[in-house]
Amino acid sequence: MINDEALHQIQIQYKELLEQMQEIARTVARRRKVPSSRVRELHAYVAASHRNALCPCCELVPVVSDDAELLGEIDHWYHVSRGDAEETWPVCRKCNLRLTQPSFKATKGSHFQAYQFSLRTVMMLQDNQFNLFAYQEVA
Ligand SMILES: [Zn+2]
């Protein structure tokens, strides 16, 4: 049997734990880096042009619409505070939820790296085009 005093102590400890968890949640939320519209556009373009518009994680669910709108969500691969293009990828809602499970995420590292390879290819091409235009303006 739990007496009233023991129950009261448990209630106090529970309340303290709850307050600590709420403070941690607030801290994480403050540090969350929402990917910029430029990053979202880049992911939409890479998924459409190199991934058949499908979620690069499951390769089943479309993440880009016919008019190049991002349908899926952006997963922060490393940490919610890291939201650059090289640290995120566009995935479907189901994958984004499952990626919070370490056992599932462990099986998707090669998928993330393959997507990042496509992203780097696109970024290099864009840099080259920019340099080409810059050269033409000078010439
Ligand atoms: Zn998916």
Six-digit token string for 130: 């920019």
How many Cα atoms occupy the beta-carbon half-sphere of 52 within 13 Å? Answer: 8
Counting beta carbons within 10 angstroms of the beta carbon of residue 3, is it exposed (0 to 12), middle (13 to 18) or buried (19 or more)? exposed
Which position has the token pair 């499951």? Answer: 58
The 10s digit of each residue's pLDDT in 81-133 is 889 999 999 999 999 999 999 999 999 999 999 999 999 999 998 887 766 55
How many angstroms does the Cα of residue 72 sit away from the middle of ligand 1?
8
How many angstroms does the Cα of residue 104 sit away from the middle of ligand 1?
12
How many angstroms does the Cα of residue 97 sit away from the middle of ligand 1?
10
Residues 83 and 118 in one domain: yes
Task: Please report which confidence band the pLDDT of residue 1 belongs to, taking 50, 70 and 90 as the band edges.
Answer: low
Residues 126 and 79 in one domain: yes
pLDDT of 49 higher than 70? yes
What's the domain range around 126? 37-138
Residues 14 and 43 in one domain: no
Q: Which amino acid is at 99?
A: L
Residues 19 and 56 in one domain: no
Residues 68 and 131 in one domain: yes
Residue 32, SS3 per DSSP? coil
Residues 57 and 82 in one domain: yes
pLDDT given at position 27: 80
How many angstroms does the Cα of residue 74 sit away from the middle of ligand 1?
11
Residues 119 and 56 in one domain: yes
**Of 6, 9, 74, 79, the residue nearest 42 (C-alpha):** 74
Residues 65 and 108 in one domain: yes
pLDDT given at position 139: 43
pLDDT given at position 8: 94
Task: Please report which confidence band the pLDDT of residue 138 belongs to, taking 50, 70 and 90 as the band edges.
Answer: very low
Residues 24 and 52 in one domain: no
> Looking at the DSSP assignment, which residues form a beta bridge with residue 91?
73
Residues 1 and 24 in one domain: yes
How many angstroms does the Cα of residue 43 sit away from the middle of ligand 1?
14
Residues 94 and 119 in one domain: yes
Provide the domain count of the chain.
Answer: 2
Helix axes 37-50, 109-138, angle to 10 degrees: 110
The 10s digit of each residue's pLDDT in 58-68 is 999 999 999 98
Q: Is the pTM of this model over 0.85?
A: no
